[in-house]
Amino acid sequence: MRQIGRAMLNAVPPDWQRVHTEYRAAGRHIEVDVVFSGPDGQARPVRPPLDVVQMLGQLRAGMYSPDRGTWLSAVYELEAPATFSVDFNAEDEPRWRNAPPPIGFTDELRTFPRADDRIPAWWRQRIGLPPLQPVAQTDTPANGTPAPLRTARVYDGKDPAGRPVVNRPPLDPRLREAVVSYLEAAPVVLAARNLDHDEFAPGQQDVPLNFRTDGTWIWAGAVPHYLRKHNLPPEPELIAHIQGRGFRLPEVDEASRDLAVGLITGSRGTA
């Protein structure tokens, strides 16, 4: 963020007082406006520096989440001598200079896919998607309190040498693909773009760094990865839960997704 601010200053005179930059994008359609004001308070547009445009694009890609997509517009403001603020918008339609054609929004979903319930009504109408249906509530007791979430362990501990320890019954081979499919189809609530090291295959780095939830359990991307690659079964209680659902994922409401993120990041207690 500071690098972007420093790059903006290359486009304005030394006596600048305020710089306002707005970045808007949908797929390959990009608009960037930079306006500065000096001691007289008069706003004057300037050509956006190429490195500012590139860094804002990199920031947009770096902030992508598989579930929520990424932001469509951002407003970056600098106040002399060195104060900045940034506001990101991922839901409301940006104030375009020239609105992108429908293919721009289709291209955006192809480049930065997001969950269907995170595509707002104006966007759905623009590309011909049907209106979003109300999300069914699941796993909520009669008193309206969301059921507690349980976090699955990847393995059962480590030995004195730091190697993973697994003490679980093997998974019935006939259930393996159905369990993997369930685990990999649940919505991602938190993710990184890089990959983690495989603790069962030294030297390999192909483990997804993400977390998913079905509204009752939370599990790391390593759980289905190790099941598929090393036949490491998930916790027996998680397998029983998946079987009890008939291998059908429920709809996961926003409150459960937010609770899962809180548990993963440590801002709330965990079961």
Q: Are residues 114 and 159 in the same domain?
A: no
Structure tokens at 254: 């926003």
| Residues shown for the chain | 271
Tell me the C-alpha distance between 195 and 221, whole Å: 10
Would residue 197 count as lying in a domain? yes
- Position 139 pLDDT exceeds 70: no
Is residue 204 a part of any domain in this protein? yes
User: Residue 139 domain-assigned?
Assistant: no
Please indicate, yes or no, if residue 135 is contained in any of the structural domains: no
- pLDDT exceeds cutoff 80 at 271: no
Q: Based on the domain organization, do 161 and 104 belong to the same domain?
A: no
- 120 and 192 both lie in a single domain: no
Phi and psi at residue 44, to the nearest 5° = -135, 125
Compute CA distances 4 → 7, 11, 24, 47, whole Å.
5, 12, 16, 15
Report the alpha-carbon distance of residue 225 to residue 243 in Å, rounded.
19
Q: Please, are residues 17 and 39 in contact by the beta-carbon 8 Å criterion? A: yes
pLDDT in the model for residue 268: 52
Q: What is the pLDDT of residue 252?
A: 92
The verdict on residue 240 lying in a domain is: yes
Distance CA 257, CA 267 (A): 14
Domain finish residue from 95, 127, 159: 127
Query: Is the domain of 33 the same as that of 95?
Result: yes
* 64 and 180 fall within a common domain: no
Task: Specify burial of residue 91 (Cβ count, 10 A radius: 0-12, 13-18, 19+).
Answer: middle
- Domain identity same for 6 and 121: yes
Furthest CA-CA distance within the chain: 75
Q: How much is the mean pLDDT over the chain? A: 86
> Is 237 inside any structural domain?
yes
Of 96, 127, 158, the last residue of a domain is 127
* CATH code assigned at 20: 3.30.500.20
Residue 140 to residue 144: CA distance in whole angstroms:
6
Please enumerate, as own/partner, the contacts of 164-170 that have beta carbons within 8 Å and a separation of 24 or more.
164/199, 164/200, 166/232, 168/233, 168/235, 168/236, 169/233, 169/236, 170/231, 170/233
DSSP three-state, residue 31 = strand
DSSP secondary structure code for residue 196 in this structure = E
Residues 62 and 169 in one domain: no
Instruction: Give per-residue pLDDT as tens, 49-62.
Output: 999 999 999 999 99
pLDDT band at 267, cuts 50/70/90?
A: low
Q: Classify 166 as helix, strand or coil.
A: coil
Long-range contacts of 96-101 (CB under 8 A, 24+ apart): 96/24, 96/31, 97/31, 97/33, 98/31, 100/26, 100/27, 100/29
pLDDT band of residue 133 (cuts 50, 70, 90) is low
Mean pLDDT of 166-189: 91
Residue 223 in domain: yes
18-26 and 73-79 strand pairing: antiparallel
Q: Is the pLDDT of residue 135 over 50?
A: no
**Which of 127, 142, 173 is at the close of a domain?**
127
Structural domain for 197, as ranges: 150-265
pLDDT band at 210 (very low <50, low <70, confident <90, very high): very high
Within 13 A of 119's CA, how many CA atoms are on the CB side? 22
Query: Into how many domains does the chain fold?
Result: 2
For residue 242 the two structure tokens come to: 């998946």
pLDDT at 141 over 60: no
Same domain, 164 and 244: yes
Whether 165 and 249 map to the same domain: the answer is yes
What average pLDDT does range 132-138 have in this prediction? 47
Quick one: 120 and 163 in the same domain?
no
Does one domain contain both 27 and 115?
yes
Residue 100 lies in a domain: yes
Same domain flag for 115 and 168: no
What percent of the chain has pLDDT above 90? 44
Residue 97 has pLDDT above 80, yes or no: yes
Nearest Cα to 72, choosing from 109, 126, 127? 109
Across residues 243-267, what is the average pLDDT?
Answer: 86
